Amino acid sequence: MKIFQSFLAIAFVLSLTHCSGDSTEKKEVEQEKTEAPKASANQPNGGITLPAGFSATVFADDLGKPRHIVVNANGDVYTKLDKLNDGRGIIRLRDVNNDGVADSITGFGKYEGTGIGIKNDYLYASSDENIYRYKLNHNEPDPSSEELIVTGLVNEKQHSSKPIALDNAGNIYVNIGAPSNACQEKDRTEGSKGQDPCPILQRAGGIWQFKVGQKNQSYKEGVRYVTGIRNIMALDWNVQANELYAVQHGRDDFNRLYPDLYNEEESVELPAEEMFLMKKGADFGWPYCYYDQRQKKKLVSPEYGGDKTKTDRCDGKGKPIYAFPGHWAPNGLMFYTGTQFPEKYRNGAFIAFHGSWNRAPREQQGYFVVFLPFNNGMPSGEYEVFADGFAGEKKTPQGASFRPCGLAQAPDGSLFICDDQKGRIWKVTYKAN
């Protein structure tokens, strides 16, 4: 189904800084001269692989650059576009005949961005500077009801995306990423020292909390919920644990910036992509600290005198509740509360890894959706790859056929996955053999 023909030829270098959050990725991708072939919607499961008993339909295709996604109580799917599609930044998709394919697609919201959520008959969406909301009248969005909830969020281009999450107490949470790799005096420059204290932490590098029902809140009126965060794209409120969770994009360039200290393998695997339970007031240590998943320690960053073993000022910083290999680019997080999938998935976490650009000369990694089991609000086992095959034959940002980004659960327990490379949405269902 070719709904938005104008997006078939989207330039491959557009806004890749949003994909991993780093300007360096754009430079890497611009060196590639060929674009990945489009995978047919008629392939089994829309071109992806799934565990036994699971299947997928291509719910929609060619939507542009869908970033995050949410499903309403009536089954309507909403996605936030990183680039406007015919002047629309929010797309609503409805499956009228219940065949797993959207056959009614409309749009509204004349701004670009990432975050989207639904709570108490309101749809919330974010640009890189603001958060808006819309009234859902009998499951129909009212574009004329647009309200500006938060305005003036820090946007310094690098790590500028604003994913959001909503709790059950009238609060909305938003990432304000640090516009830097490691707060060096000269960003990403070999030999440049880290600024101490890091001035970025005065305005960014954390999660901010606002009220959902108060109009025109300024950035300064928000509560800094946690600090010491480089950049968060995967953010979700866990209703079972009643807590905020996230998976962080770790820093880059250990080997390039400190070749005498870190070898190629260390630079590829470190630091971990950290999963956090975000308690109010927590400090997770960026830029002074990073997490080494092999030593299971928070270590002092080389910009601040670290030598791969020192913990010093990092001893009291928040540690991850789970650590994934470096540079996989976690872009979506969702806790599964449905009953359609087997019992082992109940209350566990699905995480969409957008895929690395900076593990060369080793093979790039990620480009899949993993499942991490949980019990009582904490990981209870090791992750497993749940959905794979998005990249196709070439695991690079431009060579990949698709790059998973957003995740959402439908009322019937189905799982939706969106891709911001070609604009595809999959609907994943389960049926016991």
Domain count, the chain: 1
State the average pLDDT for the chain: 91
- 3-state DSSP call for residue 264? helix
Residue 27, pLDDT score = 38
Q: Determine the Cα–Cα distance for residues 47 and 62; give it in Å rounded to an integer.
A: 15
Look up the CATH number of the domain holding residue 102: 2.120.10.30
Collect all residues with Cβ–Cβ distance below 8 Å to 169 and sequence separation of at least 6.
none
pLDDT digits (tens, 9 = 90+) for 398-431: 999 999 999 999 999 999 999 999 999 999 999 9
pLDDT digits (tens, 9 = 90+) for 188-204: 999 899 999 999 999 99
Residue 39, pLDDT score = 59
pLDDT band at 40 (very low <50, low <70, confident <90, very high): low
Look at residue 30 and tell me whether its pLDDT is greater than 80: no
Q: What is the pTM of this model?
A: 0.91
**Residue 31 belongs to what domain range?**
5-430
**Percent share of the chain, pLDDT over 70:** 91
pLDDT band at 361 (very low <50, low <70, confident <90, very high): confident
Q: Tell the residue number behind the tokens 């697609």, with chain if given.
A: 105
Range among 11-15, 39-43, 124-128 with highest mean pLDDT value: 124-128
Residue 270, pLDDT score = 97
Look at residue 323 and tell me whether its pLDDT is greater than 90: yes
Residue 304, pLDDT score = 98
Average pLDDT over residues 351-375: 95
- 185-190 long-range contacts (CB < 8 A, ≥24 apart) are 188/24, 188/252, 188/253, 188/257, 189/257, 190/256, 190/257, 190/258
